[in-house]
A = this chain, B = another copy of it.
Amino acid sequence: MAIRASTSADGVDGWRADARAAVADEIRRFVGARSRDHLGPAPETRLLADVLGRFVEGGKYVRSAFALAGWACVSAPTPAAVRAAGSLELLHCFALLQDDVMDQSPRRRGSPTAHVVFAEWHRGQGLAGSPSRFGESAAVLAGDLFLVWAEQMLRESGVGEAALARVLPRYDRMRSDLAVGQLRDLVNDARRQPTLHDVRAVARAKSGDYTVRGPLELGAELAGASPALLGALGQYGAAVGEAFQLRDDLLGLFGTPDRTGKPVGEDLLARKATAVMVLARERADTAQRRELARLDRLPTLDRSDVDDYLALVSATGAREHAERLVEQRLRDGMTALSNVVLSDEARRRLVHLADLCGNRNE
Contact = CB atoms under 8 A, between A and B. Distances in A.
A149 B172 CA distance: 8
A134 B48 contact: no
Contact of A144 (B142, B173, B179, B191): B179
A312 interface: no
A176 B141 contact: no
Interface stretch (A181-189, A220-228, A277-285, A327-335): A181-189
A102 B190 contact: no
Nearest to A140: B140
Contacts of A180: 38-40, 45, 48, 141, 145
Interface stretch (A18-26, A72-80, A122-130, A317-325): A122-130
A138 interface: yes
A44 B101 CA distance: 20
Nearest to A34: B176
A155 B183 contact: no
A50 to B, nearest CB: 13
A189 B38 contact: no
A190 B127 contact: yes
Contacts of A69: none
A177 interface: yes
Classify chain A: how many residues form its interface, as a range: 35 or more
A298 interface: no
A42 interface: yes
B147 A144 contact: yes
A105 interface: no
Interface string A131-159: 00110011011101101110110010000
A216 to B, nearest CB: 21
B128 A183 contact: no
A271 interface: yes
Contacts of A128: 189-192, 271
A42 B184 contact: yes
A64 interface: no
A219 to B, nearest CB: 20
